[in-house]
Chains A and B, each alone.
Chain A
Amino acid sequence: MTVNMSKGQAISLQKADGGTLTAVRMGLGWQAAPRRGLFGSRTREIDLDASAVLFADKQPTDVVFFRHLVSDDGSVRHTGDNLVGGAGQGGDDEAILVDLQRVPVHIDQIIFTVNSFTGQTFAEVQNAFCRLVDETNGQELARYTLTGGGQYTAQIMAIVQREGSAWQMKAVGEPANGRTFQDLMPHIVPHL
């Protein structure tokens, strides 16, 4: 069952059986730009990027994105940059895996963002979505459809934050503009 989350909705990452969530994956998928004619290589490729920013008491301490694929502590891992997208059939083209148990004790918030590195707005990208998945059982926790999201090139997707000893996810879903997560920092701060 997929929860299509609305802005600001918070869900606790407690599992139904009472155990807490130990690993989540942020997945990002989109359909590659259509090939054109003989020189298919001149097609304007669409490159969306997933990033995760780690905060300790509202101070950014680490970031995982395509140029820094593993957080220094090893708890957050990016599976690698996809520059062109995929089949648009619902599979993740980029993913960020978070091992919540290994996140350093001072990190209390992790923010997930999506950016269009090549500059196409979400209105131009086919079948784009981002989602949060419980990595232990593959269940989808939240999903946003990015396609048709208007003239924006970025989205602040969700915040995963500590709630006592467990973690909680808050959906943000705020559109913004920017090429990488750095451009989004002013928009991220109000959500902390």
Chain B
Amino acid sequence: MTAELVRGQNHPLPQTRLEIRISAGNPIVAGATLGDEQGTVQGVEWVAHPASPQLPGIEVSKQAAAAHRLAVDLDALPEGVHRVHVLLALVSGAGGPVRFGAMAAPSVAVTGLDGTEVAGYTITDLDAESAVVALELYRRQGAWKVRAVGQGYAGGLAEMLRDQGLPQAAELAAEINDAVARGMARSVAQPPPRAAGDDGRVRTATAGTGAAPDTPAQPQTQAGAQPSSAGDTSAGASPGGPINYQHPGRRTAAPPTPPPAAPPAPPGQPARPVAGDASGWTMDERLYNQVWGMFEDLARTTAAYRSAVDFAESRMEQELDKVLSDPRTRVGPAADTARAQARAKQAGLVEQARTALDRDLAQLTAEAEVVEPALPPAYARWDSPVWQGYQVPMEVPMALRLGDLHLPERTGLRIPMLVRLPLERGLWIDAGRTGSAHGALLDSAELRRLAAETAVAHAARLLAVYPVDEFSLHVIDPAGSAAASLAPLVSSGALREPPVAGAAGVSSVLAALTRRVDLVQMAVRSGATDALPPDLDLAQQLLIVHDFPHGFDDRAVTQLRYLADEGPSVGVHLMMVADREDAQAYGPVLDPLWRSLLRITPVADDHLADPWVGHAWTYEPPLVPAGSQVLQRVLGQVGRAREAYGR
């Protein structure tokens, strides 16, 4: 219910968070003063005006405008404030009217935050005044009320402020006029007057009149409905120009090419899968997301199947138990029928579950068949044709294939195991006995050889997918026992320094990497990355430790643990090729080290769990097919590129 007030009338305020809307025929200045119980303004800090638009609990606009919205939160006002005066003043020296009598009567309205009007007041009977106290909000016995005041001052702002007991009234009035004039200069010009007959348009709340009449040729822009936004451009932006919302340090990325469209599916069948049919900005990202989507789908559909089968089994057992528990029905044709029924129910449910699983697996298999050939080198198997056309990349790929994963329900359906680059954790290639059937057939020496070869295959892949100056490899082979496996890395020149041997070599490599971790950490913490010594290699580092703990003393083990803890955050990773049994003498102190590494095996082994339902997945290492020279050829290319770049 709106109350239209007359001068002197008051009205209760139902809430303390309000908006005061002011509209006038010409741009005017709006402000507010806070007063104590006697109505005295205690200082300039109790005046909200265009040069200082925000006080606790009240905010006014920064410039003159024909329409204002002042936000008021009476609860948030400073302690001791009992009155709020809402002021209007004409803009001095801007070519507009110099007295309120020469323009349409301004009106003010108090509204709630939702826009419902509480009270309105039109200030009539003004003549020579150039400033006016429009409203007073005041506290009476703990409740707030509004009073229509309408007290005008012919002497303008300065006289009005002096009347409210402010000693620096003249200075403040000058400051306000200055701020308003600056706001005018920044704001856009008013649009030119419209031709007669076209005047039915609603007057827009444009800010500023200063430049409009004599420069009609300059570009004209309609100011927005919010007057404060028009003149709000920061000092660096061009005056009056549109605000540039673009991040200064970011290039405009070209919109990603749309993912390939799936061909229309024949009716009644699921759509045929397409490689790269996932969200992402690049094909790399789309394929990565698609592979992870397939991984999740396979995990979940298998979970549905397994839980249905488990449930069928347990229900059948319960039903069979029930038949057996009753001595009267244990034997005889009724019992046989009950048993047969229970078995039939179980078989029926398993059959249904299997049908659902087969449907999903067929879909995923079809998807894998199109996705696998589309994978880029970093995601592809070694036998993929993309490795035949390998070229040294210029950019770090998004992820790396560490191997294949499959579940016993469909061993033929293999999901690439992709991990993000740069690596988040190091790798541990377990040279020890595993529980799997594959591992049990091999003797210990053969397992160690396979572990070293797996390590070389992983390291070669990392070397090949990183640009040459962004990845460095170090190898510790204390006893030289992996020389045969490491030969491709060494002979191709992809490995810059030969594998170090002996205790002295171990400690020198560890010391160099520890120094790098320390320096980079220090530089990052103090924000002084440009102060790093020029000889420091800032590329990602991978340290292969073969035959741990052979050649390690206590000090070296401590250093290794330090690298495992602190290295990953600054790009230094470990690849341990070790049998945990060998390091038993160190006891539990090394447990955190093993746990911090991702354990993978040189033979197929089911030790990896997915993040959704925790199935045990069988991991298969990405070994180069027997007799293939792809590894040597790729490493040769990397070696030549490294030489050319002087790395």
Task: Please state if B304 and A102 are interface contacts (CB–CB under 8 Å).
Answer: yes
Q: Is B353 located at the chain interface by the 8 A CB criterion? A: yes
In the assembled complex, A104 has its CB within 8 A of some CB on chain B: yes
Which residues of B have CB within 8 Å of A70?
300, 612
Contact partner, A74, options B296, B311, B352, Cβ 8 Å: B296
Whole-angstrom distance from the CB of A37 to the nearest CB of chain B? Answer: 5
List 11 interface pairs A-B (beta carbons < 8 Å), by A numbering. Answer: A57-B311, A61-B311, A62-B307, A72-B300, A72-B304, A73-B300, A73-B303, A73-B307, A74-B304, A104-B356, A105-B349
Interface positions of A from 86 to 128, Cβ below 8 Å from B: 102, 104-106
**Min C-beta distance of B414 to chain A, whole Å:** 20
For the complex, give the distance between the alpha carbons of A105 and B356 in Å: 8
Q: Which residues of B contact A57 (CB under 8 A)?
A: 311, 315
Find chain B residues with CB under 8 A from A105 CB.
304, 308, 349, 352-353, 356
Q: Which residues of A contact B311 (CB under 8 A)?
A: 56-57, 59, 61, 106
Complex partner residue of A73 from B301, B315, B352, CB under 8 angstroms:
B301
Q: 1/0 per residue A40-80: CB within 8 Å of B?
A: 00000000000000001101011000000010111100000
Which of A37, A59, A102, A104 interacts with B308 by CB under 8 Å? A104
CB neighbours of B353 from chain A (8 A): 104-106
* Contact in complex: A106, B300 (CB < 8 Å): no
The total of interchain contacts (Cβ-Cβ below 8 angstroms) comes to 53
Please give me the residue from chain B that is nearest to A102 by CB atom.
B304
The interface on chain A, measured as residues whose beta carbon lies within 8 A of the other chain's beta carbons, has a size of 16
Could you mark each residue 190-225 of chain B with 1 if its beta carbon is under 8 Å from any beta carbon of chain A, else 0?
A: 000000000000000000000000000000000000
List of B residues within 8 angstroms of A74 by Cβ: 296-297, 300-301, 303-304, 612
* Complex-state Cα separation, A73 to B308, whole angstroms: 10
Residues of A within 8 A of B307 (CB): 61-62, 72-73, 104, 106
In the bound complex, what is the Cα–Cα distance between A72 and B307 (angstroms)?
A: 9
**Bound form: Cα–Cα A33–B109 in Å:** 28
Interface of B is mostly: helix
Count of interface residues, chain B, beta-carbon cutoff 8 Å: 20
Given A72-B613, A106-B311, do A37 and B300 touch, yes or no (CB 8 Å)?
no
- The distance in angstroms between the C-alpha atoms of A104 and B306, with both chains bound, is 10
**3 smallest A-B Cβ distances: which pairs?**
A74-B300, A73-B304, A104-B304
| Binary contact readout A20-40 vs B (1 if CB under 8 angstroms, 0 otherwise) | 000000000000000001100
Q: Which residues between 579 and 634 of chain B lie within 8 Å of chain A, taking CB atoms?
A: 612-613
Question: CA–CA, A102 to B296, complex, Å?
Answer: 14
Contact with A along B275-318 (1 / 0, CB 8 A): 00000000000000000000011001101110110011001000
Residues of B within 8 A of A106 (CB): 307-308, 311-312, 349, 353
> From A57, which residue of chain B is reached at the shortest CB distance?
B315
| Complex CA distance for A67 and B303, rounded to whole angstroms | 19
Max count, chain B CB within 10 A of own CB: residue among A56, A57, A61, A73:
A73
CB of B75 closer than 8 Å to a CB of A: yes
What's the minimum C-beta distance from B331 to chain A, rounded to whole angstroms? 27
Q: How far does the alpha carbon of A105 sit from the alpha carbon of B305 in the complex, in Å?
A: 8
A156 to B304, CA, bound (A): 25
Across-interface contacts of B305 in A (CB, < 8 A): 104
In the complex, what residues of B have CB within 8 A of residue A37's CB?
Answer: 75-76
B356 proximity list for chain A (CB < 8 A): 104-105
Q: In the complex, A106→B308 CA distance in Å?
A: 5
Contacts of A73 in B (CB 8 A): 300-301, 303-304, 307
Closest residue of chain A to B360 (Cβ to Cβ) is A102
Task: For A72, list chain B residues within 8 Å (CB).
Answer: 300, 303-304, 307, 612-613
Contacts of B300 in A (CB 8 A): 70, 72-75
Binary flags per residue of B342-355, CB closer than 8 Å to A gives 1, else 0: 00000001001100
A141 vs B119: C-alpha distance in the bound complex, in angstroms?
Answer: 44
Q: How far is the CA of A62 from the CA of B307 in the complex (A)?
A: 10
Chain A residue, CB-CB nearest to B304: A73
Measured CA separation A35–B612 after assembly (Å): 38
What's the minimum C-beta distance from A109 to chain B, rounded to whole angstroms?
Answer: 13
Q: A105-B356, A106-B312 are in contact. List 18 more A-B contacts (CB 8 A).
A: A37-B75, A56-B311, A57-B311, A57-B315, A61-B307, A72-B307, A72-B612, A73-B304, A74-B296, A74-B303, A74-B304, A75-B300, A75-B304, A104-B305, A104-B353, A106-B308, A106-B311, A106-B349
